[in-house]
Structure 1
Amino acid sequence: MTVAAQPAFAQAAGELGNLEAEEPAGVIVVTGSRIARPDLDTAAPVAVVGEEEFQLSGSVNVESVINTLPQVVPGLTGFSNNPGNGAATLNLRGLGETRTMVLVNSRRWMFYDTNQIVDLNTIPQFLIDSVDVVTGGASAVYGSDAIAGVVNFKLRDDLDGLLIGGQTNITEEGDGFRYNLDMAIGSDLADGRGHVTVWASYARRKPIFQSAREFSRFAAVDGCIVPGSVDGTGTGIEVDCDEGVPGPVRGGSSGVPTTYVDALGAQFADTGGTLVPFSPYNYAPANYLQLPQERYMVGGYADYEINDNVTAYAEVSYVNNVVPQELAATPAFITSELDVDSPFFAPGVQNQLAALDTDGDGYVTSLVRRRLLETGSRNSNDERNAFRVLAGVKGDIVPGWGYDAYYMYSRTRNSQIQTGNISVSRFLQALRTEFDANGNLVCSDQSNGCTPLNIFGLGTISPEAADFIRIRAQNTEISSLQVASAAINGELFDLPGGPLGVAFGAEYRKVSSQYIPDTALASGDVAGFNAGLPTQGSYDVKELFGEIYLPIITDGFVDRFEITAAGRYSDYSLDAIGGTWTYAIGATLSPIRDITIRGQYQRAVRAPNVEELFGGNSQGFPPASDPCSSRNVDNRTDAVRDLCIATGVPANAVFTDAIQLNSQIEGLFGGNPDLEEEVSDSWTAGVVLQPSFIPRLAITIDYFDIKVENLITTLGGGLNNSLSLCYYTVQDINSEYCQAINRFGSGAIDNVEILNANIAELETSGVDLQIDYSTPVGFSLYGEAESQLSFFFLGTWTDKNNFTPVADLPDQVNICAGYYGATCGTFQPEYKFTTRITWQDGPQRLSFRGRYIGSGDDDQIVNQGVDPANLAVAGLSERFYLDMTLAFEVQEDRVVTFGVNNLLNTKPPLTGDSQQQANTFPNVYDVLGRDFFVSFRAEF
């Protein structure tokens, strides 16, 4: 929502001076258009975040500020350990990272993976002048990927001299130490005909493990508890549900350090020969809560006026970013052949196995669950090297007509080195043993130096056996983007309201990505991190685009009335897409200067990315509930029972705990080269109020409605949805949803095969409210004439975020606005706002920021009809965070800033099975607690 006054934002670097907003001089180009125009009020809503917000928030990384915006549902962050990949991503309106376009200086930025998503870690935060957030689709102006909108990071181009800065952060607990050092040098060239800026930045972030916070040191799962037994971790003592009440309990994984075996229905553990009660393994302490990071960034940009009509410009940047992930030791869930008379077994276990050896071959096939602590924790070290180069020319053709043409190339290489994995084939080889001629226990297959593996008992795996089964794996991803673009803009003739503006041009883009797993990962011979098949592909697109700006009336019987329109034709090299049209039309009406009414319609498209098109089959373990297990609380009908039996569940095991011990189910995911483009229709309508009788006040209210059709998603909209469609909706064993489910002989799900398809719909709507106000205050502590007070508020009410996994079944809609869980994923509250109030007095600035996240409910309630009383945690309560910052200008352009984020030490709300990780949603809520920072910034 762009307004002419933005007193909270738009300050120059290091300046603690005038907070009054200035009217723009001359013509400008607003994000969302290529046409220069004399005003900031556009038909499309634009929210603007200035550099001051980054400085006052104590944020080193870009996503820390952007994720507080109510239009944004946080993507991956520095707290995303599992799932996570070392990146920081942006998700506008909850429509997904792939549907959000990220620009830097109004041009496409480099992406990092086969999904063509931008890593915000590659943007130099300390040079950001402002960030424009345009929601409601922008494909007609910028091309594919802008279905949800555009986020444009504008870097400073006015630096003249040396800029240095740095910051350090530490939590109240004394951990999570972070620091960064930044430097930039800017200078005019050739008597002002050119300008150059070069910059460098270094950032380091120390890890915090989940064991360091009381709320996350135990893995919480749904269960039943003794009333009053809840401890500081938010979990209680587990009891039978006939004796207790639903609640989160201390849980974990069925992959235990002592082994748990299911051999043809007989369960036993350890070497005692008797059934040992199952006690889940607490994997939480070994997981990162805050991921460590080390990042180097260097770059520069320059322009030079060759003559009056030609200015050459260039940009270059390079980023090296290293972010490890750390998980608990590998849990092996492997069907194995156990040697009946192995001396690793106690006599009681040998007797049990012998009774199960019905064919007398000396081996019994068993499902083994063993946490391999002896092989060490799992670590995935993600190192990302990315560079981007751009060169172009711009200038005037004739007075009133200008041009801009450039070529951009970017390339990112991700290297992921995994340790702590084990080889499945070697695990099986080492587990199948026999006695040699000398009576020694050896591997039946002694190749590769096989050492017999004793998995029964705590710490029983020898170092030699651990070395034999341990395997190191490596992934590599290489992604590149090329853009060649040329545009002309100018004025055709005068209308009653001013010159008619036009812009038109052409663009060529080529995207290319590949994922290169090593042999072990590609073959699936890995337990630990997920295996995957190679992916490689590319495509290109040729485009023609145009815009028109019609100022119909200015200072007439209404103050202003204007119409804007844009269109783009895209010709893709993909046969399933071919040629597509996108277009937009909008209008702005100001009956009087104080009031502006605006609206816009946009048709936008998104072409499938390389991963969606050409991705090889890969494994994933999303949270899901098997309808045939005891997790099905409210839908135990005869139809469901019969279908469970038909899909491979033994009749006596239906609706029992044995069918699903873990809260995750393995899925097989993969690409589809016949995918078509996604199509969206976006409507926005709003009003801008700038009352002349209240100077420096601006209020904007905007309604948005975005519907995406032909949406690309996995079969059924995801693993959990596919299970629901099979057992609850379609209820046909021959349906594609039921046929995708593969089960073990015990009835437990082995995996679910779900590939990409254009089958879904996604719709969101709501209202944004922004308020800006500043006012002089008639006193000063420093002898000034007066000080000033400024206020900013930006809030969103999300009325609807509905996901229809199968458009042909429109009644099966997943409602996600205000909900979270296995179906909706990351929590998107109905109400979210950020606000800041700042008092500036002479050299000091005291500022308070408030961040509000509304309450929400588990999506099982609305999407599956589950009774809230049967859920361990039925909902998450609201949270309000208060941050305080004091900035002091010790000398001109020398600013020291002190701050405390989460001043009230507000704790995150906790849940059980429906969590993202760490018993909560760490990308949504503050998990650090009270956090202190100090920074300095100086220009010379």
Structure 2
Amino acid sequence: MSAVDEKGREELRTEKFIASLLGGVSVLAVSSAANAQEGIEQQDSSVETTASQVGDIVVTGSRIVRNGYTAPTPVTVVAVEQLQATAPGSIPDGLNQLPQFTMSSGTQNTGNQATSPNAGNYLNLRGLGSIRNLVLLDGQRIPPTSFQGTVDTNVIPSALVSRVDVVTGGASAAYGSDAVSGVINFILDTGYTGVKGSAKVGISDYGDDLSSGFDIAGGFDVLDGRGHVLLSYDHYQRDGIPRNEDRPRGGDWITQVGNGTAAAPYRNAGPVFYQTGTFGTLFPHAANFSENTGNPLAGMHFLPDGSLVPFDPGVTPAGSSNVGIGGDGSPSIGKTLTGGQVTDQLFGRFDYNLTDDLKAFAQLSFAQTENSFVTIGSGTQTNAFYIFADNPYLPAGAAALLDAYAGRDGVWGTADDRRVGGGRIHADQPFKEVVAQNVAYTFLTGLSGSLGNYSWKATYAHGDSLLRSSHSGNFYQDRYFASLDAVWDGSGNIVCNITLTHPGLMDDCRPINWFGANSPTEEDFDWVSGVSKYRVSQKMDIFAAELAGELFNLPAGPLSFAVGAEYRKQKLDQVSNSDPSIPTSTVGLRTNVAQTINKYNSTNVGWAQGQYDVKEVFLELAVPVLADQPWARALDLNGAVRYTEYSTSGGVTTWKAGLSYTPIDDVRLRYTISRDIRAPTLYELFAGDQAARGGFFDAHSGRNDNVITLSSGNPDLKPEIGDTYTAGVIWQPSFVPGFSVSVDYFSIEITDAIANLNRDNANEECIASNGTSSLCQYIIRPFPFSHVPASDNFPLATRVLPYNQALSSMHGIDYEFAYRMPVTVGALDGDLRLRLIGSYVPGRKTRTDINAAPVQNANVGVNAKHRFNVQANYIQGPWKLTTQARYIGETERTRDRTVFYEEPTVPSVVYVDVTVERDFSVRGHDLTAFLTVNNAFDQKPPLIGNGQPGQMYPTNQAVYDVVGPYYTTGIRFAF
């Protein structure tokens, strides 16, 4: 970027920042001029988050509802007001700031393919995978919105959410299968009366990533007060950041290089470029592409004007075979840094009291989300094709050299020997964009009532989601390879070779001049490009019934129970126009390097169909053992058992046991042990083949290049089993009013954990076994493993599939401190509320095979040992100031002491968020104006080189902020 361009961008950023700031200030100024509202709603800052009932509010953690009962399960309760103060964009964005969430997927970490649902907002509790936490809406299971069985939380009607309860431990026995890492329960304010809403707009410090949104909700009584209607609508959109190059380091082409030895440790280097492709076409050196050994054109490339000149590969770093530091190579350009998002939500609910003891309700929700991002702006075809001596677009001198070339074996053969291998970075093609649209409907109806001392509920829910994904700019591989093979016909016209050798097979073939940047025309790209599409439909029907109450009185109190049953039916149907299990013919194509090709050069998705039925019954008991004793203010036992039967994998029993012990008034101890399960999803069982391209380093051939990875389902999967332990203490000293603390130890061990085979690990084990390991079958090579030279034996493809791992475990400590105190310092009189939420995880192990040694992943890579948030709220009259510091601790690059990094650690980071709010009233209506600055001090993400040059921003976007300072201003109202 030129200095002039940089200056212009800086001026634009400054202007937009000033405009955003002035907008927020003007809103606050208007509020100051209005009649100030002196009263301010008080917010409970207590960390005692497992109280079972406050009025009609039931906190997640147990199905037992009884006054004074506290469940032993640790639960973090977050009010919507708190989430809005730190992340006004959306509720899921606020949850992702909590230390217990990490590696969630969404628009902030878009990928190079469209083969996975990384558009949306899929929460990941404890980093154990979104598939292992159960997402509920008012205690009801939400139907999945992705083919992987996970839930895009953007579909939840956020305008009416009052709080979110996060169970940070196993909860399958109480809430159903799949809750291995915990439960995320969005609680709606179903009894809301009145009208409320908000409007907001946001922009980054760089003048991009513009966002806007508004929501409105209303509730009112009907039918003489026996009925209640609730309605809401929410709209939110965000442009995203169009390109990696729009942020510092994004255009520096930083990549990890080295071989991890003491002499050549892994290090970040830049600018790093491909040695196997340029913007105008390159014939790589034999060192990068062994097929070009001895070829007279090896090491030549085309300038933009089409002239052929020697290629400078730059400095080849140790451990690399296809990238160079500096030189004439090219990077991939144009990848979106963060994706665009548009979300619309509609919600309606009707409650009606049929009698004093019988209530009917029905609710319908609709959500549509659209996410878009560019995977790779410049299609990367490295070491991807051959050019023959009879190609009319070759300069005459080059064609003559090839025509005289006797082939690699030194023996004159057919015209196929007079060729040279090539690679090209298609920076001149239209950018390859993914658009993913998710439409979800959920209908819920039921009856609830009481029978004497018992309460009951019966519900039916139907969920229907449809995901449509399209990936434009993909090359039809047969057309692409045919267009490369241009020849003269008998009339002096340039045609495709296939039209001469195989008439009728591809008579509309368009020969293309790929030599020189911008040589192909728009029409050329239109002919070779298509749109890879797939559609995923999921349907779920749930019938559930529950009875709860008190059986009889014990000396310490009533014995309470909850019993219920559930029947669930789920169906998956996925279709696509690019099924990789259907081979694409290579007849007549002499230019493709690979022996097999897919329809498109990326995003080839297979078909999948499947369904299963689930039957569940459960029982939960709360047993008071002691009460009001000198050494035991209260001692309660809690237990639950659930039997689940899947039509695909049989039956399994889950259970939970726990106790809550209050030895003195200020202290409560709690302990739980549970057995949880997650059955394989329909997609894990029945998915057809799908294919994606990406970088792969193969130590056997010494090459680092793009390779096709095939994946599919595995019908032999069995449920994974989780064992969870928690033990904690809650202290609320009466001699320090407003102070409370909770500390909970947790341990989660998952056996037979379902995970995709790691292709890198499989390849390493295959190489270590000298080609004898059973895992070698997943590394598909053109020749047997023993083939010489090994440099010819780079994989044609790799294959991954889900399987039952031997072990995945983690343990740590969650802690929370809260203190609320009055400030009495003259003009600063007000109310101060402090809160610290943290997580310490010193252990995180995986073992891929029962005979393999466990691998310790704690504090390595993305798994920071320390994460915590500190929040301070200061309230004075109508003003409220909220500040938050989010800490992500330092991590090691690796725990393998035989692997060396130039910088062995990833540094810690601290993000600071600030919000100023002002309450005021206009004609008796309550309003609040706010201005929020996220990442206020512009904390840059740690530098982590990864991927191929330019394909990925050099950090981990699922963990670290790449947006920079972001300003959101708006107004909330309630009538």
Name the TM-score, length of structure 1 as normaliser.
Answer: 0.87
The structure-2 alpha-carbon separation of the partners of 1:829 and 1:454, relative to structure 1 and needing over 3 Å to count, comes to: same
What is the deviation of 1:199? 0.4
Which residue of structure 1 lines up, in the alignment, with residue 393 of structure 2? 344
Measured after TM superposition, the shift of residue 21 of structure 1 is 6.1
RMSD (CA atoms): 2.6
Query: What letter matches 1:29 in structure 2?
Result: V
Q: Compute the displacement of 1:116 (Å).
A: 0.8
Alpha-carbon distance change, 421 to 14 in structure 1, aligned in 2, over 3 angstroms: farther
The answer to whether structure 1 residue 71 and structure 2 residue 100 are counterparts is yes
Instruction: Find the aligned partners of 1:865 and 1:139 in 2 and give their Cα distance.
Output: 41
Contact 2:932 2:967 in 1 (8 A): yes
* C-alpha distance in structure 2 between counterparts of 1:676 and 1:155, whole Å: 35
SS at 1:602's partner residue?
strand
Kept in 2: contact 1:567–1:584 (CA 8 A):
yes
Task: Give 1:9's aligned residue.
Answer: none
Secondary structure at 1:438's aligned position in 2? coil
Which residue matches 1:470?
Answer: 529
Q: Is 2:90 the counterpart of 1:31?
A: no
Which has the higher mean CA deviation after the structures are superposed, 200-209 or 452-461? 452-461
Question: Does the 8 Å CA contact 2:198/2:970 hold for their aligned counterparts?
Answer: yes
Q: CA deviation at 1:245?
A: 9.6
1:722 equivalent in structure 2: 762
Distance 1:408 1:624, change over 3 A: same
1:251 counterpart = 2:324: no
Q: Distance in 2 between matches of 1:18 and 1:284?
A: 53
CA distance in 1, matches of 2:793, 2:551: 72
* Contact kept? 2:406, 2:413, Cα under 8 Å: no
**Pairing 1:672-751 to 2, within 5 Å after superposition:** 672-715=714-757, 718-728=758-768, 731-744=769-782, 746-751=792-797
- More deviation in 252-261 or 498-507? 252-261
- Tell me the distance in 2 between the aligned counterparts of 1:395 and 1:85: 42
| Per-residue deviation, 1:493 | 0.5
Deviation of the 1:438 alpha carbon = 1.4
Q: Which amino acid aligns with 1:569?
A: Y
Cα deviation digits, residues 529-559 of structure 1 (max 9, x gap): 3212111111111111110000111212310
Counterpart of 2:450, as a letter, is: D
Over 3 Å counting, the alpha-carbon distance change for 1:855 and 1:243 in structure 2 is closer
- More deviation in 465-474 or 500-509? 465-474
Structure 2 residue 434 is matched with structure 1 residue 392? no
Structure 2 stretches of 5 or more lacking a match?
1-36, 284-288, 314-326, 500-505, 583-596, 784-791
| CA shift for structure 1 position 190 | 3.1
Paired residue for 2:629? Answer: 556
Matched residue, 2:484 = 431
Post-superposition offset of 1:573: 0.6
Q: Distance in 2 between matches of 1:816 and 1:361?
A: 54
Q: Paired residue for 1:815? A: 856
CA gap of 1:600–1:244, structure 2 versus 1, over 3 A, is: closer
Q: Which AA in structure 1 matches 2:520?
A: I
Aligned residue in 2 for 1:323? 371
Question: Distance between the aligned counterparts of 2:795 and 2:282, measured in 1?
Answer: 18
How far 1:432 moved relative to its partner? 2.5
Partner of 2:252: 218
Which residue in the other structure is 1:231 paired with? none
Q: Does 1:49 align with 2:78?
A: yes
Deviations 1:147-205 (A, max 9, x none): 00101111122321111211111112221110101011111233433322100011111
CA 1:193 to 1:905, structure 2 compared with 1: closer, same or farther past 3 Å? same
User: Which of residues 912, 916, 919 in structure 2 aligns to 1:886?
Assistant: 916
Equivalent residue for 1:768? 814
Deviations 1:585-642 (A, max 9, x none): 00111101111111100100101011110111222346653233xxxxxxxxxxxxxx
CA-CA distance at 1:337 after TM superposition:
4.7
Alignment check: 8 A CA contact 1:300 1:315 kept: yes
Q: CA deviation at 1:737?
A: 1.2
Please tell me the residue identity of whatever aligns with 2:378. A
Spell out the pairing of 1:419-818 with structure 2 (5 A cutoff): 419-446=472-499, 447-519=506-578, 523=582, 525-557=598-630, 558-574=632-648, 577-621=649-693, 624-628=696-700, 649=701, 655=702, 659-660=703-704, 662=705, 665-715=707-757, 718-728=758-768, 731-744=769-782, 746-779=792-825, 781=827, 786-809=829-852, 811=853, 813-818=854-859
CA drift of 1:314 comes to: 1.7
What is the letter of the counterpart of residue 587 of structure 1? L
User: How far off its partner does 1:519 sit?
Assistant: 4.4
Aligned to 2:106, the other structure's residue is in SS state: coil
Structure 1 residue corresponding to 2:969, chosen from 914, 926, 934: 934
Whole-Å separation in 2 of the counterparts to 1:390 and 1:97:
24
- Aligned partners of 2:189, 2:429: CA distance in 1, in Å? 50
Give me the whole-angstrom Cα distance separating, in 2, the residues matched to 1:857 and 1:545.
44
Residues 283 and 293 of structure 1: CA distance in aligned 2, closer, same or farther (over 3 Å)? farther
1:854-869 superposed matches below 5 A: 854-858=889-893, 861-863=894-896, 865-869=898-902
Map of 2:883 onto structure 1: 848
Other structure's SS at 1:200 match: strand
Partner of 1:80: 109
Question: 2:944 aligns to what?
Answer: 911
| Distance verdict in 2 for CA 1:111–1:863, change over 3 Å | farther
Q: Deviations over 1:355-414 (max 9, x none)?
A: 14456332346654222334311011111111111111111022x201111111111111
CA shift, 1:277, in A, is: 2.8
Partner secondary structure for residue 468 of structure 1? helix
**Closer, same or farther in 2 for the Cα pair 1:923/1:281, shift >3 Å?**
farther
SS in 1 for 2:337: strand
Verify the 8 A CA contact 2:333 2:427 in the aligned structure 1: no
Are residues 341 and 27 of structure 1, via their aligned partners in 2, closer, same or farther at CA, if it must alter by over 3 Å? closer
Q: Which residue of 1 aligns with 2:416?
A: 363
- 1: CA distance between counterparts of 2:265 and 2:127? 37
Counterpart Cα distance in 1 of 2:657 and 2:264: 63
After superposition, the Cα gap between the structure-2 partners of 1:589 and 1:187, relative to the gap in structure 1 and judged at 3 Å, is same
2:88 counterpart residue number: 59
The equivalent of 2:789 in structure 1 is none
1:287 to 311, 335, 347: 335
Partner SS for 2:145: coil
Give yes or no for contact 1:111–1:118 (8 Å, CA) kept in 2: yes
Single out whichever of 601-610 and 527-536 deviates more from structure 2: 527-536
Q: How far off its partner does 1:797 sit?
A: 0.4
CA gap 1:275/1:856 in 2 versus in 1, 3 angstroms = same
Equivalent AA in structure 2 for residue 331 of structure 1: T
Provide the rounded CA distance (Å) in 1 between the counterparts of 2:187 and 2:264.
Answer: 60
Corresponding residue SS for 2:684? helix
TM-fit CA distance, 1:444? 2.1
The 5-angstrom pairing of residues 401-416 of structure 1 reads: 401-416=454-469
> Among residues 381, 387, 408, which one is paired with 1:332 in the alignment?
381
Secondary structure of 1:214's aligned partner: coil
CA–CA separation in structure 2 for the residues paired with 1:665 and 1:433: 26
| Partner Cα separation in structure 1 for residue 694 and residue 429 of structure 2 | 25
Paired residues of 2:311 and 2:328 also in contact (CA < 8 A): no
Unaligned 5+ segments in structure 1 are 1-12, 226-240, 629-648, 650-654, 821-826
Contact 2:159–2:232 (8 Å) recurs in 1? no
2:414 partner SS: coil
- SS across alignment from 1:893: strand
Aligned to 1:10: none
In percent, how many aligned pairs have the same letter?
27
Helix, strand or coil at the partner of 1:316: strand
2:926 alignment partner AA: D
